[in-house]
Amino acid sequence: MFNVDASEKESPACTAQSPVNATAFRRSLTLLAIKLLKRFRKRHGTVLFLSPRLCVKYGTSTSLGEASTLQFVAHHTSIPVPRVHCAFEHRNRTYIVMDRMRGQSVGAGWLRRSEESRRKILDQLRDMVEEMRCVTPPEGSVVAHVDGGSLHDPRIPGISHCFGPFRTIQDFHKHLRGGLEAHPDHKLEIGALIAQHDGPWPAPVFTHGDLSSLNVLASGDEVVGIVDWETAGWYPSYWEYTTAWNVNPQNQFWRDEVDKFLQPMPKELEMEQIRLKYFGDV
């Protein structure tokens, strides 16, 4: 990783975000349900299944911003997402109570699906991404959360998982490289990266930010849900593609599918790979 001044990499605190339907009764009932059920109810990562219809996502890495994003997506698109019943913070943890989505992640058994089945899934996913791209960006075209506040992504280097908002895409890129400015002494790769970062860019688009096979739910050949919207917001147009392509070890096969539901962006992907090489050590 390229060494930069730690102060340049410092991230701001998360923008304060509003709870959802956080009455005293709902908060107390949620905390009690978790206390009673967490020992024997099924759990998937940070999500605890409370009943056949409800689940709660909670923990220090969960953000209230995800709840507002889910409401935003439900209001502005037809993409199937969990309905939020309440969301609140308690003792430095965030709790989001929402509907359970039917279906399983397409990552489970993807390689056993027929080519026709995979095509149907990817065609639906492509249509959903196109619908997201049609959502009108906020005035000013900033890189920001759906409510205009800070973004949240634990994969971005910094002392906090929160960063932004940014007035321009160039400001966002500067943050990604730890504040580093162009200098003739930089390696050629770094100089080229900064030049590309600082170039002109189209307006930001609404982006999920983690379209992994693990976050797409299907029942048979039907996509019935997209989950884990904590990294969503208004980002440069390439961000959906590069984040979907840079998969975790459980998801390597997904790289072969990304070009089938997202517009291939090889130059931007190469740019991101250079950025990750020098500045991506979280």
CATH architecture assignment, domain 24-99: 2-Layer Sandwich (3.30)
The 3-state secondary structure of the chain reads CCCCCHHHHCCCCCCCCCCECCCHHHHHHHHHHHHHHCCCCCEECCEEECCCCEEEEEECCCCHHHHHHHHHHHHHCCCCCCCEEEEEEECCEEEEEEECCCCEECCCCHHHCCHHHHHHHHHHHHHHHHHHHCCCCCCCCCEECCCCCCEECCCCCCCCCEECCECCHHHHHHHHCCCCCCCCCCCHHHHHHHHHHCCCCCCCEEECCCCCHHHEEEECCEEEEECCCCCCEEECCCHHHHHHHCCCHHHHHHHHHHHHHCCCCHHHHHHHHHHHHHHCCC
- Domain boundaries 6-12+103-279, CATH class: alpha beta
Mean pLDDT by runs of 10 across the 282 residues of the chain is 41 74 97 94 90 95 95 98 98 96 94 97 98 89 91 86 94 96 96 97 96 96 97 97 91 95 98 96 53
Q: Where in the chain is the domain with CATH 3.30.200.20?
A: 24-99
Q: Where in the chain is the domain with CATH 3.90.1200?
A: 6-12+103-279
